[in-house]
Amino acid sequence: MPTAYDTTMPGAETGLGPAPTGSSPVQPGSAPVKKVSKKFPLAPVRWPTAQEAQARVWFSPIRIGQSLVEARTWVPAMVPWRATEDGVVTPQVLEWYERYARAQPGVLVVEATGIRDIPSGPLLRIGHDRFLDGLKKMVDVVHRTSKGHTRFFIQIIDFLTIRRRVPKEKYFERFFKLTDAHRRRLAQLTNEPEWGEATAHAVGEKLCSLAEAELGEILTAREVETLQMGYREWVTDLDLPPIRELPQVLPGLFADAAERAQKAGFDGVELHYAHAYTMASFLSRLNTRSDGYGGPKENRVRLPLEVFAAVRARVGADYVVGCRYLSDEIFAGGNRIDDAVYFGVEFAKAGMDFLSISRGGKFEDAKQPRIGEAAYPYTGESGLECMPTVHISAPGPFGRNISCTQQIRQGVRAAGLTRRANL
């Protein structure tokens, strides 16, 4: 059972704190978030005195699992893109976390760190023992700079393949897989039956000349998405062996990564179950896998629970392990707060030590990338909810996730899974 089960309050990926007095949270069913050119007016603020700060719950201690955290100030994972292209810690990474450690937050979480030993750009990695030396340096810097007042967690992540959007000509020449169904639909659309016997090259050239609406009548929805947005893997691609085998592969990969985090000296691990990545995609309502890991929410939570169980078995009962996941996927047809409350209760039953709540940040409503670029999940409505700025509709950038976070917390408590530490 968790010792002190709390959810970290919103600010999503921005690291912002609780809403100022007078701001109102976004309620379920409210108007869609909008990016606006005019800045949302922010209420005047002042720095609290030391005495006022000490009197706030925010600066009071709490026990997370077996770890005593001196304050409830929590810096969530934010990716600064300062690692090498091989995922190795650089002096710039050390400087980034040293700056946060000077303020001695209660918890500081390292950016999403890849669990596989594969190229992933300037994103930190933990998929091999060769990364341990750099990760140990990070731990040493934060513990030394904070004088031991900050608990240092690392967020570990898996993500699927995504590729850059290619020109229309290149798509049909190199990536498009022509089928008899395409030929039939092209012949019907043009009233030219000879397309049924034409060469693949000729058909590709013809398709390339068609307008977007016409292509929509010939290509599958998935092919249209690949053409318009660039290719990406889905967790429902059961025809691809690596995707089909994810439930067998991921628990071990996450467990290996968590063990390395423990060896490196991190105080805990945050499993990345949020945003546009693999584990969040298993939790999503769009996960329709037919192998027992998709469909009803009881099936969608199955792999995240199996990953946690593998991690817990590897690092032991005393090591802090929690997760970051979504209160709302925002896009049409995605998860809503009822899904999030259910998942929160299941995670608590399994013994997670904390829940860190975000929202949005999905590929499903991302803006179309330019040719040569990949889709970015923080460009649509769900992305704006995930990383709000002052250029946002009412109620402004602060506190947009409070209502949902409160409902998750209430659900966990109603299930009898919270016990406050006796501090």
Tens digits of pLDDT across the chain (423 residues)? 233 444 333 333 332 222 323 333 343 344 456 676 678 888 888 888 989 988 999 999 999 999 999 999 999 999 999 999 999 999 999 999 999 999 999 999 999 999 999 988 899 999 999 999 999 999 999 999 999 999 999 999 999 999 999 999 999 999 999 999 999 999 999 999 999 999 999 999 999 999 999 999 999 999 999 999 999 999 999 999 999 999 999 999 999 999 999 999 999 999 999 999 999 999 999 999 999 999 999 999 999 999 999 999 999 999 999 999 999 999 999 999 999 999 999 999 999 999 999 999 999 999 999 999 999 999 999 999 999 998 888 888 999 999 999 999 999 999 998 764 323
Query: What's the pLDDT at 18?
Result: 28
**Alpha-carbon span 247 to 4, nearest angstrom:** 30
Whether the model pTM is above 0.75: yes
The number of residues making up the chain comes to 423
| pLDDT number for residue 209 | 95
The SS3 assignment for 283 reads helix
Q: Which residues in 288-395 belong to E strands, given as ranges?
A: 320-326, 355-358
CA nearest neighbour of 359 among 397, 391, 394, 322: 397
CA-CA-CA-CA torsion sign (156, 78, 53, 150): positive
First-to-last alpha carbon distance for the chain, in angstroms, is 18
Domain borders along the chain are 7-164+234-414, 168-229
Residue-wise over 21-55: b if at least 16 C-beta within 10 A, else e? Answer: eebebbeeeeeebeeeeeebeeeeeeeeeeeeeee
Query: For residue 10, which of 24, 378, 1 has the smallest C-alpha distance?
Result: 24
The rounded Cα 46 to chain-centroid distance in angstroms is: 33
Nearest by Cα to 158 from 72, 35, 238, 255: 255
In this structure, the strands spanning 67-69 and 74-75 are unpaired
Task: Give me the pLDDT at residue 419, please.
Answer: 60
CATH of 7-164+234-414, one of 3.20.20.70, 3.80.30.10, 3.10.129.10, 3.30.450.20: 3.20.20.70
Percent of the chain as helix, strand, coil, to the nearest 5: 40, 10, 50
The predicted pLDDT at position 39 comes to 87
State the Cα–Cα distance between residues 139 and 4, nearest whole angstrom: 24
Euclidean distance between CA atoms 33 and 50, whole angstroms: 36
